[in-house]
A and B are shown apart, each in its own frame.
Chain A
Amino acid sequence: MKKEISHIKEDILKKDSVKIALAGNPNVGKSTIFNALTGLKQHTGNWTGKTVENAQGTFKNNGTTYLLTDTPGTYSLESYSEEESVTRSFLLCGDIEKTIVVCDASKLSRTLKLFLEILQITPKAILCVNLIDEAEKDGISVDITKLSRLLGVKTIATDARRKRGISDLKNALSEENACALEIKYSDKTEEMISRVCNLLDDCGVPKRYVATELLKGNSYIVEKISNLEQIRREVSDLMKKEGISCTEIRDETSRAISVLSKEICDQVIIKKEKKRCITTEKIDSVLAGRIFSVPCMLLFLCLIFYITVTFANYPSAFLSDLFVRAENFLYSCISKTSTPVWINDMLLKGAFRTLGWVVSVMLPPMAIFFPLFTLLEDWGYLPRIAFNLDRCFKKCSSCGKQSLTMCMGFGCNASGVMGARIINTRRERLLAIITNSFVPCNGKFPTMITLITIFFVGAYANNILVALILSGIIIICVLTTLLMTKLLSLTLLKGEKSSFILELPPYRRPQIGKTLVRSLLDRTLLVLSRAIIVSIPAGIIIWCLSNIYIGDVSVIMHISELLDPVGRFFGLDGVLLLAFILGLPANEIVLPIALMAYTSSSSLTESADMLTTHSLLVNNGWTYVTAICFIIFSLFHSPCLTTLLTVKKETGSIRWMLVSALLPTLFGLTLCALVNFIF
């Protein structure tokens, strides 16, 4: 009986778990805190009405279940970027019981400012001073007890990487605390604030905050106000009378926050000795320096591809073997039932085989590429790439952060498109999204490597030469991306380039084990699941086309014959053109479809080895020109269906989706026609 009651209690608790939010500047180890608190009990969800995905996780402490929501890293709650307004509106409208604000102990005065801002919205906040170990290394120690007393809130020191202080942080959540720290402005401003306060009705947000925002001229707060028209008039009258502009108020508030933050820090920070962070400076003098930065970038690029290409082979072979066995096993099972043979064939030789193909070709490179990429990200190298390359993008009226979305695009264009959220203005984000498919994704590499090997290197060549040629191709793709960005910003996406203000965080030793797990879970599986969703219907369609006959010839042959003159014009042939069309759901299956059509078989077949593939292609009229045209077109054609759907979701318009499909296709076709014409 007692046990039952406790079970019921647990269920009730689960239902109304305590909602808490996690906020903090970028690069203060916010996600490490999030992971340390929630472990692997995480999922991404959407905030109502917002498209920005955010991580949520649950954890239990002393019998209470907490639902923790991560917010994007922001410097302040002012409306500079989408992330900032998202964080702000989440804190304003969400029914959050507590907010944990993460600060960096070694940069306390700058990271404390966000906390002070958040205190104006909600007094129920907990300060988490993270990276205490890093600060100790720099000779900085923080008097946490004093800081807690000065702020009047619970303050916890943590080193999330070693899980120091995490249990204290959990315990602090159940403690009652409310802070009454107010930021004092000049007498004149204070008087204006109190006057506006008197006009306001109760709206669930501290009146003082609403009044300050109104005086600053920020309009996002207006939905909270009932008698808006009247108040607006009063506010503007007041400001006219006092002769103060919104900008002046803004300057005053941000200066007041900085001053207060500095004052507090002066009292709590004890510097043992003036040690400077030498490591970051030294690494930067190489990786962001004038001589070695470009060679190092190229080296990293080559290295990542070399590792991916070399080590993906073995798991790929293993997986495809596994799928062949599973298919045989399932076939023997299903053939015992009374379903018609054609249904069995369609499901297994069509849908299942295509699925197996996509998974075994796509999963291993992704499972290697993304963790490597995340390691560089965790280390702190990625902002340096943006720093090194920003000038190129500035010339194209874009932003250096686009180079990061391009890097992600090498893994998967859909991820790259999603990654464009880090770019602040809509125009530059669109530029990054539309041009993303000009960098080849992992799905195109197997095809490319096969063709490079059999036509340009020779079947028994070493991987290094292939990796070098591949890197050359990639550099061409990067240059094309820049060209297209310029072209778009001159035509469809005209506009002024925005600012480039980027913080370069210190290098930190990446947490290798966690990175592997998280990037596998977050990026790889996400992309893979989407690929699976599109590859099954594609498999069925391909199977139907190659198994429905009109006369003695399958539909697929009929169509490819029709397309043949068009294909020849572009240096390809009908089969290849059709393969590209059918391969739209997933780039991995373009070459397999072509091989299937050449051998007139009824389902996707694995080629025995490179030599057989070579002779098969040559027998079907392939020359070096065909190979070049095929490589060009497989680099520059419409991105896969997953990417297109992501573009639609991210831009919210079918028009931009069509542009991002047509632009690379037209470019690729033109290039192919030129190559075919010249040679």
Chain B
Amino acid sequence: MIRLSELEKNEECRIVRIFAEDKVRLRLHSLGFIEGERIKRVRVSVLGDPVMYEIDGTYVALRCEEAFLIGIERI
């Protein structure tokens, strides 16, 4: 298992585990970050952080701190 923050551009993967706690965990859940979901890294912001991901048909931006809290496996 690697972390979402290690994903390369345009790479697709599957979420294995959410390490975030409390509120961040809730928000990630409600935005579709759930174990088994596919996620793709789309684009990095001009200043290198945050990164835009495609999940469940929408784009969501996460800072690298939050992306680090998501465990993934490459497909």
Q: 1/0 per residue B42-69: CB within 8 Å of A?
A: 1111111110100011111111011000
Query: Contact between A110 and B57 (Cβ–Cβ < 8 Å)?
Result: yes
Residue of B nearest to A255 (CB): B34
Q: How far is the CA of A251 from the CA of B25 in the complex (A)?
A: 9
Q: 1/0 per residue A500-523: CB within 8 Å of B?
A: 111111100000000000000000
Indicate whether A80 sits within 8 Å of B26 (C-beta atoms), given known contacts A109-B56, A258-B32, A388-B47. yes
Query: Contact between A288 and B45 (Cβ–Cβ < 8 Å)?
Result: yes
Tell me how far the C-beta of B24 lies from the nearest C-beta in chain A, rounded to whole angstroms: 5
**Interface-centre pick from A107, A389, A503 (highest chain B CB count, 10 A):** A503
Q: How far is the CA of A113 from the CA of B62 in the complex (A)?
A: 21
Q: How far is the CA of A503 from the CA of B31 in the complex (A)?
A: 8
In the complex, which of the residues A75, A250, A504 contacts B61, with contact meaning CB atoms closer than 8 Å? A504
Residue of B nearest to A27 (CB): B58
Tell me how far the C-beta of A59 lies from the nearest C-beta in chain B, rounded to whole angstroms: 30
Identify which of residues 11-32 in chain B touch chain A, using a CB-to-CB cut-off of 8 Å: 21, 23-32
Q: How far is the CA of A390 from the CA of B50 in the complex (A)?
A: 7
Tell me how far the C-beta of B56 lies from the nearest C-beta in chain A, rounded to whole angstroms: 5
**Interface-centre pick from B34, B56, B61 (highest chain A CB count, 10 A):** B61
Query: Contact between B26 and A500 (Cβ–Cβ < 8 Å)?
Result: no
- Whether A284 is near chain B, meaning CB under 8 Å from some CB there, is yes
Tell me how far the C-beta of A28 lies from the nearest C-beta in chain B, rounded to whole angstroms: 11
In the complex, which of the residues A280, A285, A502 contacts B60, with contact meaning CB atoms closer than 8 Å? A502
Query: Contact between B52 and A289 (Cβ–Cβ < 8 Å)?
Result: no
- Whether A306 is near chain B, meaning CB under 8 Å from some CB there, is no
Query: Contact between B47 and A504 (Cβ–Cβ < 8 Å)?
Result: no
Indicate whether A107 sits within 8 Å of B26 (C-beta atoms), given known contacts A390-B49, A394-B63. no
Q: How far is the CA of A501 from the CA of B60 in the complex (A)?
A: 7
Q: How far is the CA of A281 from the CA of B58 in the complex (A)?
A: 11
Query: Contact between A500 and B30 (Cβ–Cβ < 8 Å)?
Result: no
Query: Contact between A110 and B56 (Cβ–Cβ < 8 Å)?
Result: yes
Query: Contact between A288 and B52 (Cβ–Cβ < 8 Å)?
Result: yes
Residue of B nearest to A505 (CB): B58
Tell me how far the C-beta of B29 lies from the nearest C-beta in chain A, rounded to whole angstroms: 4
- The total of chain A residues at the interface (CB under 8 A) is 43
Contacts of A400 in B (CB 8 A): 50
Main secondary structure of the interface of A (DSSP, over half): helix
Query: Contact between B34 and A285 (Cβ–Cβ < 8 Å)?
Result: no
In the complex, which of the residues B32, B45, B63 contacts A110, with contact meaning CB atoms closer than 8 Å? B32
**Interface-centre pick from A80, A386, A392 (highest chain B CB count, 10 A):** A80
- Whether B8 is near chain A, meaning CB under 8 Å from some CB there, is no
Query: Contact between B58 and A388 (Cβ–Cβ < 8 Å)?
Result: no
- Whether B6 is near chain A, meaning CB under 8 Å from some CB there, is no
In the complex, which of the residues A75, A255, A387 contacts B50, with contact meaning CB atoms closer than 8 Å? A387
Contacts of B60 in A (CB 8 A): 501-504
**Interface-centre pick from B24, B27, B35, B65 (highest chain A CB count, 10 A):** B27
In the complex, which of the residues B24, B25, B58, B61 contacts A107, with contact meaning CB atoms closer than 8 Å? B58
Query: Contact between B27 and A501 (Cβ–Cβ < 8 Å)?
Result: yes
- What range describes how many residues of B lie at the interface? 20 to 34
Contacts of A113 in B (CB 8 A): 30
Query: Contact between A387 and B30 (Cβ–Cβ < 8 Å)?
Result: no
Query: Contact between B30 and A254 (Cβ–Cβ < 8 Å)?
Result: yes
Q: How far is the CA of A506 from the CA of B30 in the complex (A)?
A: 19
Query: Contact between B61 and A501 (Cβ–Cβ < 8 Å)?
Result: yes
Contacts of B66 in A (CB 8 A): 499-501
Q: How far is the CA of A76 from the CA of B56 in the complex (A)?
A: 16
Q: How far is the CA of A593 from the CA of B43 in the complex (A)?
A: 52
Indicate whether A391 sits within 8 Å of B43 (C-beta atoms), given known contacts A80-B27, A107-B56. no
Residue of A nearest to B21 (CB): A247
Residue of B nearest to A108 (CB): B57
Residue of B nearest to A140 (CB): B57
Contacts of B35 in A (CB 8 A): 255
Identify which of residues 260-303 in chain A touch chain B, using a CB-to-CB cut-off of 8 Å: 280-281, 284-285, 288-290, 293-294
Query: Contact between B27 and A499 (Cβ–Cβ < 8 Å)?
Result: yes
- Whether A78 is near chain B, meaning CB under 8 Å from some CB there, is yes
Query: Contact between A284 and B27 (Cβ–Cβ < 8 Å)?
Result: no
Tell me how far the C-beta of A274 lies from the nearest C-beta in chain B, rounded to whole angstroms: 12
Query: Contact between A110 and B58 (Cβ–Cβ < 8 Å)?
Result: yes
Tell me how far the C-beta of A289 lies from the nearest C-beta in chain B, rounded to whole angstroms: 7
16 additional A-B pairs beyond A250-B25, A388-B46, beta carbons within 8 Å, are: A75-B30, A78-B30, A79-B26, A107-B56, A107-B58, A247-B21, A288-B45, A289-B46, A390-B50, A391-B45, A400-B50, A499-B66, A500-B62, A501-B31, A502-B61, A504-B61
B: which residues have CB within 8 A of A?
21, 23-32, 34-35, 42-50, 52, 56-63, 65-66
28 examples of A-B residue contacts, CB within 8 angstroms? A78-B26, A107-B57, A110-B58, A247-B25, A250-B25, A254-B26, A254-B30, A255-B29, A258-B32, A258-B34, A288-B43, A288-B45, A288-B46, A289-B46, A294-B46, A387-B61, A388-B46, A390-B47, A390-B49, A390-B61, A391-B45, A391-B47, A391-B50, A499-B24, A501-B60, A501-B61, A503-B58, A504-B59
